């Protein structure tokens, strides 16, 4: 899996923002993070559907807010005080991502990233690998690729 990670232009130590989602811990490239906000602190002025939980304004920028709790579990989640929004600067847009909570920033070397077991035969290009650091395991995601996944009418996921 290191070759996939190297293809993203990463070598040496890279920082990942770790966050909780559905009882698992994930990590995304910290350089994509523009800002962290509490869900209640966002000025939200529209609600669109299940996964797109609305549109918000952050520092004068209007952006969609994707509720990853709904996207991963398929059911609505009630926000609590630990619910956070990660404001992301993606390659083609800015958007917010609702998660159960942000944990911290983790620095990983390439040798601390392994292939995720069971993904060898499945096309999941949005998964970078499994990061291991000080007894923790992070599922590392390529956030640009993950946010480009679309759902068809029946609700199955497909690449954009």
| pLDDT digit string, tens, across residues 89-118 | 998 889 999 999 999 999 999 999 998 887
Q: Picking from 10-14, 34-38, 59-63, which range would have the lowest pLDDT averaged per residue?
A: 10-14
pTM summary value: 0.78
Alpha helix ranges (H) inside 67-112: 68-73
Rounded CA separation 110/131 (Å): 9
| pLDDT digit string, tens, across residues 30-39 | 999 999 988 7
62, 46 contact by CB (below 8 A): no
């Amino acid at each position: 899996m290191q070759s996939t990670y190297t293809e993203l232009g990463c070598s040496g130590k890279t920082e990942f923002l770790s966050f909780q989602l559905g009882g698992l811990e994930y990590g995304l490239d910290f350089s994509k993070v523009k800002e962290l906000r509490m869900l209640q602190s966002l000025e939200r002025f529209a609600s669109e559907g299940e996964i797109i939980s609305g549109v918000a304004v952050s520092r004068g920028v209007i952006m969609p807010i994707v509720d990853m709790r709904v996207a991963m579990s398929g059911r609505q989640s009630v926000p609590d005080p630990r619910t956070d929004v990660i404001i992301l600067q993606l390659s083609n847009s800015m958007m917010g991502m609702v998660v159960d909570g942000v944990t911290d920033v983790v620095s990983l070397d390439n040798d601390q990233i392994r292939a995720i077991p069971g993904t060898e035969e499945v096309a999941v290009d949005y998964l970078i690998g499994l990061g291991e650091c000080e007894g923790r395991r992070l599922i590392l995601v390529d956030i640009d690729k993950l946010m480009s996944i679309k759902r068809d009418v029946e609700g199955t996921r497909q690449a954009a």
